[in-house]
């Protein structure tokens, strides 16, 4: 039984006819002479066509209702493949399959041509995609705004174990999923100067103008009529930019100089999610996104409204981290300079419109920009920020008279050798709500990173624990498990009401159900093994415990700790201590920022250790290790269903939330983890007995540091650790040196607890029924981690919006 409303002409015959029609009229060819790309594009268009009617009805219903809209601003989106998703959400997967069979086309071959838009780095970008999916599913009127980068996140390959980055030209063969609107461009200014008007008003005369050209992709809701959109902007040079006379004079490079300079703005996603990167082009990207989005939001507002006093009632702008925070200054500029509103009036509107989500605790990851750069690139915005800050600091002085320390702590401008704009401070000051992304994270934000603000405005601070799309990460990723769940629960309503997974609890001890659960896992491990063999040449044992760590490479996430334990196992097996060893497949996936050398060294070490393990005939029957290159959403959909063990081993207090932890638990993996990010909530829900907890908690981390942490003490006291570090010293001397002399993320302090905990994992795995029970309970109790729940939380606590149903 399925709850997706089928397209009116949803028979295989109709589907096949429409596909042939698209082949003929859109690609200008016939089945006999079609290339694989022709067939793929026609299939994509035929599927897309089946969502258009719903989109048109959604737009009409929204126009009619004139509701409050959520505008999600994000520099990143990791949407994943569109073909599998849109087949599912349009309810046409079955008829497409029959139609393709009838035409002699292979679904798998065509799916392989569907390119995932990798317009993000990691968790933050994928979260944006999960939230858009949930908003559409819950009938929340919403638009996602982003940048249509020509090149998405780099493709990762390994050469001699080292990461090499290759460009991701994701639209090389065209993108059948997007609708271009080249007649709906916006102008974006840069540089120039300001001129006084009346009072506080100024006029900004930009020195450079770039056009923003939108295209949109459909964001269908599941089991509902709503289809929202994500609008992505691409930079275009204005029409007069091509210098015909220079071209005529043979100066080909100079002739297109201006075009290249303009269009560079949306050329490439910055592949850095670690530290602030002081690049002018990145600030240009941010301003470009923000300006295009705001102008579009105002255009949409004016379709049904005319009074600025209604703006904050009709518009919510959710800022995904600080990357789009310049929108606060830009809206003030539009309202004051262009619309002529009084400053205080404009500020009251602005503050009510914005809400800010923070995704980090690491001070070094908080974005700041040199005042001089902002002054040069966005002179009017800098003036506005100074004025916002001036008025804000007056408020602070009134609250803390004579406390200069407070002013320095909270100021939007950081003083020092060079003044800098603290984007997080601007975000908090200019928003009505601020949220962290897991309970622990929100608590620590208010207690540490943003403490002063939480004290000033306690009511502004919220927690909204992240969630993931059960459609993408269970139904599409794991069709076998989905079918088993649907069979047990009697229908597939769990896909849009994930708490229904609780109905599996009663099956946790049912031997027959357990056997089928294990069968699903085994088949999924076999699929992974097939892919792994094809891409890495390593043969995994489909019966071995599948032990998975998938996430961006970061020192704080401690992939290094995972590698140290693999070396422990290697030593033990070589010594013949195999009595307590269970066969394992260690699976790694993740990219490192190209300039993040410490992370890249750890990657190199992981690859070296993998080779050492796999090529040792004494070891490889017990242990295999693969590093699947180019981890992305599609690769996640392959790995997650196969996983038995989920590695969530960051140093406590560093991971804001994590979302792979949720995806893996939902698919029945048991977590080995620290009390960090959302791990805490996962453990609370699945039960401590179904979660392998180890390591220091945040208070203990602070205490260890307080006492003066010396990692060398741990090395000296633990023989097995000594052996491991000595091995690492031979393979990657710099890493061993770092561990012993500046072990910033307390890897050695948590080493013993981690290794002992892994021994508990091995013992638990031997108890097949006990493990299966815990696996089923992890799925049954993880319904909370649906992004539908996350969006409901945002709607209730932050956005104050209700659904707008779209009629059949």
Question: DSSP states of 522-562 as a string?
Answer: HHHHHHHHHHHHHHH-----TTSEEEEEES---TTTTHHHH
Footprint on residues 660-689 left by ligand 26Q (CB under 6 A): 677
Number of other CB atoms surrounding residue 389 within 10 Å: 19
Stretch that binds ligand 26Q, among 12-20, 156-164, 292-300, 655-663 (CB under 6 A): 655-663
The nearer residue to ligand 26Q, 434 or 656, going by C-beta atoms, is 656
Q: Looking at 478-622, which runs of residues are DSSP E strands?
A: 545-550, 584-589
What x/- string results for residues 407 through 446 when contact with ligand 26Q is judged by CB under 6 A? ------------------------------x---------
Query: Which one, of 461, 412, 426, 393, lies nearest residue 322 by Cα?
Result: 426
Structural tokens at position 502: 């609780």
Told to judge if 654 belongs to the known catalytic residues of this protein, a careful annotator would answer: no
Interface with ligand 26Q (CB under 6 A), residue total 21
- Of these residues, 663, 683, 781, 789, which one is catalytic? 663
657 binds ligand 26Q (CB under 6 A): yes
743-772 burial code (b ≥16 CB/10 A, e <16): bebbbbbbbbebbebbeebeebbeeeeebb
Footprint on residues 469-508 left by ligand 26Q (CB under 6 A): none
656 binds ligand 26Q (CB under 6 A): yes
639 binds ligand 26Q (CB under 6 A): no
d(CA 568, CA 571): 5
**Least spacing, CB of residue 391 vs ligand 26Q, in Å:** 28
Task: List Cβ neighbours of 526 (8 Å cut-off, separation of 6 or more).
Answer: 542
CA distances from 614 to 71, 243, 304, 640 (A): 49, 59, 64, 22
Give the residue at shortest CB distance from ligand 26Q. Answer: 123
- Of these residues, 500, 552, 584, 683, which one is catalytic? 552
Q: Quick one: the chain helix, strand, coil %, rounded to 5?
A: 55, 15, 30
The nearer residue to ligand 26Q, 148 or 624, going by C-beta atoms, is 148
Told to judge if 659 belongs to the known catalytic residues of this protein, a careful annotator would answer: yes
Distance separating the N- and C-terminal Cα atoms of the chain: 19
**Least spacing, CB of residue 452 vs ligand 26Q, in Å:** 23
Footprint on residues 239-278 left by ligand 26Q (CB under 6 A): 270, 272-273, 276-277
> Interior CA angle at 459 toward 458 and 463, to 5°?
90
Told to judge if 193 belongs to the known catalytic residues of this protein, a careful annotator would answer: no
| Partners of residue 586 on adjacent β-strands | 547, 625
82, 262, 431, 659: which one binds ligand 26Q (CB under 6 A):
659
Told to judge if 551 belongs to the known catalytic residues of this protein, a careful annotator would answer: yes
The nearer residue to ligand 26Q, 123 or 214, going by C-beta atoms, is 123
- Of these residues, 50, 54, 155, 359, which one is catalytic? 359
Query: Which one, of 318, 383, 203, 84, lies nearest residue 794 by Cα?
Result: 318
d(CA 440, CA 448): 12
The nearer residue to ligand 26Q, 31 or 362, going by C-beta atoms, is 362
**Least spacing, CB of residue 140 vs ligand 26Q, in Å:** 19
658 binds ligand 26Q (CB under 6 A): yes
- Of these residues, 287, 422, 521, 557, which one is catalytic? 557
Told to judge if 600 belongs to the known catalytic residues of this protein, a careful annotator would answer: no
Footprint on residues 92-151 left by ligand 26Q (CB under 6 A): 121-124, 127
The burial class, CB within 10 Å (0-12 / 13-18 / 19+), for 706 is: exposed
Footprint on residues 298-357 left by ligand 26Q (CB under 6 A): none
The nearer residue to ligand 26Q, 124 or 428, going by C-beta atoms, is 124
- Is 673:648 a contact under the CB 8 Å cutoff? yes
**Least spacing, CB of residue 705 vs ligand 26Q, in Å:** 21
632 binds ligand 26Q (CB under 6 A): no
457 binds ligand 26Q (CB under 6 A): no
**Least spacing, CB of residue 552 vs ligand 26Q, in Å:** 7
Alpha helices (runs of H) in 104-190, residue ranges in sequence order = 107-112, 123-137
Active-site residue list: 359, 551-552, 557, 659, 663
Give me the residues that bind ligand 26Q (CB under 6 A), please: 121-124, 127, 270, 272-273, 276-277, 282, 359, 367, 437, 466, 655-659, 677
């Amino acid at each position: 039984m399925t709850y997706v409303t089928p397209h009116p002409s949803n028979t295989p015959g109709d589907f096949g006819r429409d596909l042939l029609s698209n082949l003929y009229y859109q690609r200008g060819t016939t089945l006999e002479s079609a290339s694989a790309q022709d067939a793929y594009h026609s299939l994509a268009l035929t599927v897309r066509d089946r969502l258009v009617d719903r989109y048109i009805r959604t737009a009409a219903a929204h126009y009619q209702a004139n509701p409050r809209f959520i505008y999600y601003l994000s520099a990143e989106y990791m949407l994943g493949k569109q073909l599998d998703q849109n087949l599912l959400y349009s309810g046409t997967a079955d008829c497409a399959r029959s139609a393709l069979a009838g035409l002699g086309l292979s679904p798998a071959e065509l799916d392989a041509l569907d390119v995932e838009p990798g317009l993000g780095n990691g968790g933050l970008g994928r979260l944006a995609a999960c939230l858009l999916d949930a908003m559409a599913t819950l009938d929340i009127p919403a638009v996602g705004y982003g940048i249509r980068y020509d090149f998405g996140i780099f493709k990762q390959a390994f050469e001699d174990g080292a990461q090499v980055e290759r460009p991701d030209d994701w639209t090389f063969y065209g993108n059948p999923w997007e609708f271009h609107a080249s007649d709906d461009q916006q102008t974006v200014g840069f540089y120039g100067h300001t001129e006084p008007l009346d009072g506080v008003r100024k006029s900004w005369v930009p020195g450079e103008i770039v056009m923003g050209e939108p295209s949109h992709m459909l964001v269908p809701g599941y089991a509902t009529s709503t289809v929202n959109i994500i609008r992505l902007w691409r930079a275009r040079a204005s029409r007069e930019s091509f210098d015909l006379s220079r071209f005529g004079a043979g100066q080909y490079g100079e002739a297109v100089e201006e075009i290249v300079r303009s269009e560079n703005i949306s050329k490439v996603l910055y592949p850095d999610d670690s530290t602030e990167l002081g690049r002018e082009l990145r600030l240009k990207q941010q301003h470009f996104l923000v300006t295009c989005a705001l102008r579009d939001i105002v255009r949409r507002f004016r379709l049904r409204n005319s009074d600025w006093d209604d703006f904050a009632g009709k518009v919510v702008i959710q800022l995904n981290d600080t990357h789009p925070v310049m929108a606060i200054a830009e809206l003030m500029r539009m309202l004051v300079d262009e619309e002529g509103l009084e400053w205080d009036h404009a500020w009251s509107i602005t503050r009510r419109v914005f809400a800010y989500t923070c995704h980090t605790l690491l001070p070094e990851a908080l974005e700041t920009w040199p005042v001089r750069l902002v002054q040069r690139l966005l002179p009017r915005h800098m003036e506005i920020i100074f004025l916002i800050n001036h008025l804000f600091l007056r408020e602070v002085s009134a609250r803390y008279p004579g406390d200069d320390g407070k002013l320095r702590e909270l100021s939007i401008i950081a003083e020092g050798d060079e003044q800098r704009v603290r984007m997080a401070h601007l975000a908090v000051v200019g928003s009505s709500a601020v949220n962290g992304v897991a309970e622990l994270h929100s608590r620590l934000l208010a207690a540490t990173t943003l403490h002063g603000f939480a004290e000033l405005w306690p009511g502004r601070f919220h927690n909204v624990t992240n969630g993931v799309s059960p459609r993408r990460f269970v139904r599409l990723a794991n069709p076998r498990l989905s079918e088993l769940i649907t069979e047990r629960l009697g229908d597939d309503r769990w896909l849009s009401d994930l708490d229904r997974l609780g109905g599996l609890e009663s099956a946790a001890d049912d031997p027959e159900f357990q056997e089928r659960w294990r069968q699903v896992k085994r088949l999924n491990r076999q699929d992974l093994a097939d892919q792994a063999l094809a891409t890495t040449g390593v043969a995994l044992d489909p019966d071995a415990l599948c032990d998975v760590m998938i996430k961006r490479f970061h020192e704080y996430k401690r992939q290094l700790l995972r590698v140290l334990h693999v070396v422990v196992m290697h030593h033990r097996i070589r010594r013949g201590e195999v009595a307590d060893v269970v066969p394992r497949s260690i699976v790694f996936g993740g990219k490192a920022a190209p300039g993040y050398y410490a992370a890249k060294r750890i990657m190199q070490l992981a690859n070296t250790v993998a080779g050492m393990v796999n090529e040792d005939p004494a070891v490889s029957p017990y242990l295999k290790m693969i590093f699947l290159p180019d981890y992305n959403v599609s690769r996640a959909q392959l790995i997650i269903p196969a996983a038995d063990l989920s590695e969530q081993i960051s140093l406590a207090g560093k991971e804001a939330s994590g979302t792979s932890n949720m995806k893996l638990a939902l698919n029945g993996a048991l977590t080995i983890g620290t009390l960090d990010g959302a791990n805490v909530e996962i453990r609370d829900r699945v039960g401590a007995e179904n979660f392998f907890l180890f390591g220091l908690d945040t208070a203990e981390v602070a205490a260890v540091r307080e006492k003066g942490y010396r990692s060398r003490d741990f090395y000296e006291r633990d023989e097995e650790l000594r052996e491991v570090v000595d091995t690492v010293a031979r393979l990657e001397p710099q890493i061993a040196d770092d561990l012993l002399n500046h072990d910033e993320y307390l890897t050695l302090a948590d080493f013993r607890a981690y290794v002992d905990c892994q021994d508990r994992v091995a013992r638990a795995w031997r108890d097949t029924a006990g493990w299966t029970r815990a696996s089923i309970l992890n799925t049954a109790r993880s319904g909370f981690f649906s992004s539908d729940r996350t969006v409901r939380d945002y709607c209730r606590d932050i956005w104050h919006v209700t659904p707008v149903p779209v009629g059949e």
